[in-house]
């Protein structure tokens, strides 16, 4: 079979990806769905948001590579062919960018920056008491390779960090919690809650009333996971009854966020347009090529996803 990669990513300008892949491997054939040819010769697909049942067209598919860290977009409307493996990206720059975004957002909460923007709008001069990182417990839900990196940058800046994950992890500077049993303990001490979970059937809707109720009064939510993690009505109520003092949301059920959504106008919500970390093809195309070469040599692939766990 030829050394070929087919990109399936409807609505995306694929030029940066093609350029980055060819820079890495000049002889590579790169084709973009639906204009790709000889589908029986295709064993390697690079994709984000593939259309329904698209993989059925590729009888010899071996690798479905997600363009990002998540893979639920692949499972949502597609059956995975038996002989195919799914891989995800492990982008060091993505982890770094995510870490700085969470740090920025947490510091803004401590220093009342969203309130000061509103005060400026209203021409109000009023000093508000600020908090210091060492006075804050920040809880990271989803303590995988991204969560750990985010936590470490926060520790470096004197925050007290705690991480929660499905199965127990340990870390020298970060207190860890695992599973349903330790969730209450984890939540009760978190003045800021950061969602970095993978999106799975289990984690969908996890940011709900049940969780918010267990946080200290006035806690702040940062959702940089996925939109469907959050039950929006529960957030609305938690802001109303002041269980939460505010929320920074970077991800949404529907993106772009519809113009008539109540998030836009809510004074206690800070919106950003899914910009916490943006995958840079330049920084990860070597990973894609590495896996393509491993496939050709019959070697074990990197960053393979467990379909059972879903991440």
Q: Does 111 bind its own copies (CB under 8 A)?
A: yes
Of residues 18 through 77, those in contact with its own copies by CB under 8 A are: none
Q: In what order do the strands lie in the sheet with 4-8?
A: 29-32, 4-8, 44-47, 63-66, 85-87
CB of 89 vs its own copies, minimal distance in Å:
18
Among 119, 208, 245, 286, binds its own copies (CB under 8 A): 119
243 is catalytic: no
Q: Does 126 bind its own copies (CB under 8 A)?
A: yes
Compute the CA torsion angle 276, 175, 110, 214 (nearest 10 deg).
90
Contact partners, residue 68, CB within 8 Å, separation at least 6? 48, 88, 89, 94, 279
- Please say which residue, 178 or 271, places its beta carbon nearer to its own copies: 271
Residues in the chain: 311
Among 90, 96, 282, 290, binds its own copies (CB under 8 A): 96
Among 33, 58, 101, 177, binds its own copies (CB under 8 A): 101
Binding mask 243-272 for its own copies (x = CB under 8 A): ------------xxx-x----x-----xxx
Q: Does 104 bind its own copies (CB under 8 A)?
A: yes
Task: Say if residues 68 and 93 touch (Cβ distance below 8 Å).
Answer: no
Q: Count CB neighbours of 212 within 10 A.
A: 22
- Please say which residue, 42 or 108, places its beta carbon nearer to its own copies: 108
Which member of 19, 266, 274, 303 is catalytic? 274
- Pinpoint the alpha helices (H) of the chain: 15-24, 72-75, 92-110, 113-121, 145-156, 183-188, 209-214, 232-240, 281-297
12 is catalytic: no
Query: What secondary structure letter does DSSP report for 303?
Result: S
Q: Does 130 bind its own copies (CB under 8 A)?
A: yes
Task: Say if residues 211 and 187 touch (Cβ distance below 8 Å).
Answer: yes
- Please say which residue, 6 or 136, places its beta carbon nearer to its own copies: 136
* Binding residues for its own copies (CB under 8 A): 96-97, 100-101, 103-104, 107-108, 110-114, 116-117, 119-121, 123, 125-128, 130, 132-133, 153, 156-157, 255-257, 259, 264, 270-275, 278
């Amino acid at each position: 079979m030829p050394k070929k990669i087919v990109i399936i990513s409807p609505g995306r300008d694929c030029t940066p990806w093609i350029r980055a892949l060819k820079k890495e491997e000049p002889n590579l054939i790169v084709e973009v769905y639906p204009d790709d040819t000889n589908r029986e010769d295709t064993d390697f697909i690079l994709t984000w948001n593939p259309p329904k049942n698209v993989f059925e067209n590729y009888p010899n598919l071996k690798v479905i590579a997600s363009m990002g860290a998540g893979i639920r977009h692949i499972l949502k409307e597609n059956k995975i062919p038996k002989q195919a493996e799914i891989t995800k990206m492990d982008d060091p720059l993505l982890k770094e960018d995510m870490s700085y975004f969470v740090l920025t957002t947490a510091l803004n909460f401590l220093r009342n920056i969203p309130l000061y923007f509103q005060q400026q709008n209203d021409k109000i001069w009023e000093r508000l008491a600020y908090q210091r990182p060492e006075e804050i417990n920040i809880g990271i839900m989803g303590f995988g390779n991204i969560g750990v990196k985010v936590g470490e940058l926060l520790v470096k800046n004197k925050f007290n960090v705690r991480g929660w994950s499905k199965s127990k992890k340990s870390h020298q500077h970060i207190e860890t919690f695992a599973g349903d049993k330790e969730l209450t303990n984890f939540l009760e001490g978190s003045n800021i809650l950061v969602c970095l979970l993978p999106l799975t059937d289990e984690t969908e809707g996890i940011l709900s009333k049940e969780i918010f109720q267990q946080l200290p009064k006035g806690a702040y939510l940062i959702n940089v996971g996925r939109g469907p993690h959050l039950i929006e009505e529960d957030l609305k109520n938690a802001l109303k009854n002041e269980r939460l003092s505010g929320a920074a949301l970077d991800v949404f059920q529907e993106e772009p966020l519809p113009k008539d959504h109540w998030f836009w106008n809510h004074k206690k919500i800070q919106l950003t347009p899914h910009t916490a970390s943006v995958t840079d093809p330049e920084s990860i195309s070597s990973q894609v090529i590495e896996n393509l070469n491993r496939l050709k040599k019959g070697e074990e692939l990197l960053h393979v996803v467990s379909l059972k766990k879903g991440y």
